[in-house]
Amino acid sequence: MASAKIVDMTIDDIKALITEVVDERLHNWWQQSRDTRSIEEVLAAMDRLRWTPPQRSPSTTELLREDRVR
């Protein structure tokens, strides 16, 4: 199919070619983007990146009420 011209292909042949190209690209993307970290490493990173607001900061509800008053 690689040497066939688009003009000579049927609609089904073109759909099959498109499907093949999309599948190949998705597979390549998946292989490149896989996270190879262990569960422990992921959880440790989550702990490191977690942010806790200061003690006296307003709650989410208080912020929403403040926005509605404006």
For the stretch 17-54, pLDDT in tens is: 999 999 999 999 988 888 889 999 999 999 999 998 99
Q: Which two tokens stand for residue 57?
A: 């900061």
pLDDT at 60: 92
From CA 2, how far away is CA 4, in angstroms rounded?
Answer: 6
pLDDT at 2: 58
Write out the H or E segment, with its range, that includes residue 60: helix 60-69
Helices (H), 4-59: 11-33, 39-49
From CA 59, how far away is CA 57, in angstroms rounded?
Answer: 7
pLDDT at 33: 86
From CA 47, how far away is CA 44, in angstroms rounded?
Answer: 5
